Amino acid sequence: MIDQVLIVEDSKFAAKVLSRALQSELRVECVVAHSYAEAVVQAERSDFLAALVDLTLPDAPVGAAVDLLTGKGYPIVVVTAELSDQVQQMMWKKRVAEYIVKDELLDRQYLVGLISRFQKNGGITVLVVDDSPVVRGYTAGLLRRHRYQVLEASKPSEALELLGSNPHTCMAITDYNMPEMDGCALTRLMRKDRSREDFIIIGVSAQGSAEVSARFIKSGANDFIHKPFSPDEFYCRVGQNMTMLESIRAIREASLRDFMTGLYNRRHFYDVGKSALERARNNGTPLSLAMVDVDKFKLVNDTYGHDAGDEVLKTVATMLRDESGAGATTFRLGGEEFCVLIEGAGRDELGRRLEHIRGSLQNAVIPAGDLKLKVTASFGGTSELQASLDDMLRAADECLYKAKDTGRNRVVLTGEATA
């Protein structure tokens, strides 16, 4: 389902600029209301990703449309012609998520980044730790306005318990003065098994900002905010830290992927495979490994060119990824050679899955420019747990060579000639 963004703006030009910016760069649809009356109709809905709302409309008092939509469960972004301290304070009192000055509408990067942030935040969990119910509620409320999922803890022991039961939490925002231990001590405990590149910690305190901030950073925090803080500063700090975390993850993920096909690479195969083999041994669960090689791939390159060969590899990669089934991870080991690792699948299941993929590939027509190509692949696999991952890879590779030697376009597993 495509996310929808509500735009309440009487200027058709401004509404068009906003719509074009979002729809050209994000997977969203824009619903436009050009007046307060039209906004009333849209206010019946509560399923928008966000709303961009003009502060001043000709058929309503200033801020009326904002009041109309506040509390609907999605972020409200105010669009205003001017920004004074008075207007800014009024908007934060209305509990809006953000604001944009109309003169800045052409800054597409900021607008797109903001809406993109809302799209991502629904899957991001943040822990707020503060013994003051008022401060904790205020901080959690700011986060929820930006669609973050929020956990709340009133003391450090509760915070550690929540992290243990919610391991995918990405960020913790912790106060300094608390019962049981201070925020720096809690930071050190949280940081023991969570790196700065995987988990953000932001310290908060109303006292001794210079000294306390240094203590937080030395204890393992990523950032520090001095209380009282404005919503502007809070959102900037939280947003920048989340962007940094996502950038690090993206770089790390790219280093594990094959650039052309998007499958995981040989380096990641060994990381994943060794862990999978250890789990299979410890838990007594099945593990299968298959080698896949495109038949006569050199002939494809020599006859039709490397661009056509690349399309063949991409198609094979997509088919392996999409049709290998539950528990499977797919890799490109190099050239036309692929690998499939399947946790929880024994020999019979491995044979069924590989035979299905083999048949699907045999029947596939691969577009490559003006060409329509057909290829086949050979498969070799094993479900016998070996002393090492290399031994399993070697066993699967031997079966692959048997498949090649006995006519190609077939599946061979350890324990029998063909399947």
Positions marked catalytic = 336
* Strand ranges (E), 352-404: 366-368, 371-373, 377-382
Instruction: Specify whether the CB–CB gap between 54 and 33 falls below 8 A.
Output: no
Q: How far is CA 184 from CA 131, 209, 225, 283, 408, in A?
A: 15, 13, 13, 39, 63
Nearest alpha carbon to residue 223 among 209, 241, 235, 249: 241
Side-chain-facing half-sphere of 377: CA atoms under 13 Å = 28
Residue 192 makes CB contacts below 8 A (sequence gap 6+) with none
Q: Quick one: which of 114, 95, 87 has its CA closest to 18?
A: 114
283: CB partners within 8 A, 6+ apart: none
| Contact between 126 and 147 (Cβ < 8 Å) | no
- 257-287 residues labelled b (16+ CB within 10 A) or e (exposed): ebeebebbbeebbeebbeebbeebeeeeebb
The identity of residue 358, as a single letter, is R
Rounded Cα distance, 412 and 409, in Å: 10
Give helix 133-145 / helix 231-255 axis angle, nearest 10°. 60
Tell me how far apart the alpha carbons of residues 413 and 343 are, in angstroms, rounded to a whole number. 16
Reading phi first (left if > 0) and then psi (alpha if -120 to 50, else beta), residue 345 is in: beta
The tally of CA atoms less than 13 A away on the side-chain side of residue 220 is 22
Question: Which pair of structure tokens corresponds to residue 26?
Answer: 């994000």
3-state secondary structure (DSSP) of residue 49? coil
Q: How far apart (Å, rounded) are the C-alpha atoms in residues 262 and 316?
A: 12
At 19 the three-state DSSP class reads helix
The conformational region for residue 314 under phi > 0 = left, psi -120 to 50 = alpha, else beta, is: alpha
